[in-house]
Amino acid sequence: MSYASLPGETQHTSAEETAQLVYSSAGTVNKQRSVVMRHIFEAAQRLDASAQKSVASAANEAASVSQPLAQPVAKPLVPQAATEQAAAGSPAPTAEGEQETIEIISADNLKKGIDSSQEGIFERVRDSRGVPVSFAQLGELHHEEAPSEFAYEKIWTHCQIVARIAVSLAANYRERVRKLAQAGPLPQPWNGALPDLEMCAVGGLVHDIGVQHVFLRHGEDAGRLFDRHRYIFHGLEGYLILLENRYGLAIAQFARNHTGVGITRSEVVAQGLPLPPDDYMPKTIEQEIVMYADKFHTKSDPMQFVSLKAARASAARFGLSNATRFDNLVARYGVPDLESLSREYGMSIR
């Protein structure tokens, strides 16, 4: 399908066709990207409705055979006020070294499904058919979507690193809340939901799957890795990939809502971003943790870990509100131990 045929065909373009549009004509995508993304967004909305029906159908089927469907429950985010963190006995750090770093879960434990009795299965995280998600299954999906082995290895490695960081941050957060609870009623922001470790693992493993569709020349040539015009679309690309493969909204939203420290509708409009005007902000505590964990590793060539100082500077490039959001995330979740990961993977810290 050519770009010229797009206008007026919204109701007749399949989700598969719309997903393919982002691949074509990188040289002319500048003027057409907003049209392309309008179609992609509308396709995603149709898939949303289909996924919701699938979840309901699976739940009814499971109930009919007395096997309750363990769909992950969306958990509300707790307030993000660094001043409240300080009142709760957790001062907001402003530079590295002011706070103890958080030990990272091993790669083996991640691959075993965190705390599942079945190796490699995330038993509490189900797709839209009620089937448990597995580590191997997610790796295979990355491989299927990747334009080359180079792209697959890069993005799958990055996603595993982010998943390990996210699970470690979530586990540490749960422990901090437990200790605070022993001292009495929890003050804000600690009296919100506790993160599910398996959901954090799955979210980390899928959050950047859409990047497989925005490599420049398969990512194998020297120089720039990604198509700069299409890169901002990778969240929606991943969202579509996951919905098309019946992973459901709870999982697909990890791809949609992880960019930067979140993007608000007003920021999309004010900055003229080529995205459908909407909020691309975490909707659950697990999504927020994965978004934050992602800030500590970069897919550059060569790949690197990102220090707290560099991560904050990156957030601050987009304004004071972004820097404040990042500071609140640091205050809430702490700082991962990048030194151990740097040694393990042989990647530097910038």
Give the pLDDT band (50/70/90) at residue 82: very low
Instruction: Tell me the mean pLDDT in the region 88-116.
Output: 66
Percent residues over pLDDT 90 in the chain = 39
Residue 54: predicted pLDDT? 54
Residue 101: predicted pLDDT? 84
Residue 219: predicted pLDDT? 64
What are the pLDDT digits (tens) for 282-305?
999 999 999 999 999 999 888 999
Question: Residue ranges of the domains in the chain?
Answer: 75-345
Task: Please provide the average confidence, as pLDDT, over all residues in the chain.
Answer: 75
Residue 15: predicted pLDDT? 41
Of residues 20 and 234, which shows the higher confidence score?
234
Structural fold of domain 75-345: Hypothetical protein af1432 (1.10.3210)
Of residues 27 and 205, which shows the higher confidence score?
205
Who's near 73: CB < 8 A, 6+ residues apart?
A: none
Residue 237: predicted pLDDT? 92
- pTM here is 0.74
Per-residue pLDDT at 145 exceeds 90? yes
Per-residue pLDDT at 167 exceeds 80? yes
Instruction: Tell me the mean pLDDT in the region 113-137.
Output: 84
Instruction: Tell me the mean pLDDT in the region 252-265.
Output: 90
Of residues 195 and 34, which shows the higher confidence score?
195
